């Protein structure tokens, strides 16, 4: 499924959680995976969501450090 992390569309397995999409985003952007634990993940409404939050096709999330 495709989800959007910041402005990057990542293609990730069905059933992926927020942390998986962010990990793929970090690898894609050649950033350290350690940033995952230092940042915050938000949904399209700006609400904080957990690392284990389930994702759905087309979902937009934001990752901020």
Residues that bind other proteins (CB under 8 A): 1, 11-21, 23-24, 27-28, 33, 43-45, 47-50, 52-54, 56, 59
Burial of 58 (0-12, 13-18, 19+ CB in 10 A): exposed
- Minimum CB separation of residue 13 from other proteins in Å reads 4
- Minimum CB separation of residue 17 from other proteins in Å reads 8
SS3 of residue 11 by DSSP:
strand
Question: Residue 14 CB: number of other CB atoms within 10 A?
Answer: 8
Choice between 7 and 30, CB closer to other proteins: 30
């Amino acid at each position: 499924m495709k989800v959007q992390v910041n402005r990057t569309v990542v293609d990730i397995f069905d059933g992926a959680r927020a942390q998986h999409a962010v990990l793929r985003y970090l690898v894609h952007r050649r950033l350290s995976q350690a940033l995952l634990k230092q940042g915050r993940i938000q949904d399209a409404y700006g609400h904080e969501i957990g690392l284990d939050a389930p994702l759905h096709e087309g979902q937009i999330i934001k990752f901020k450090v």
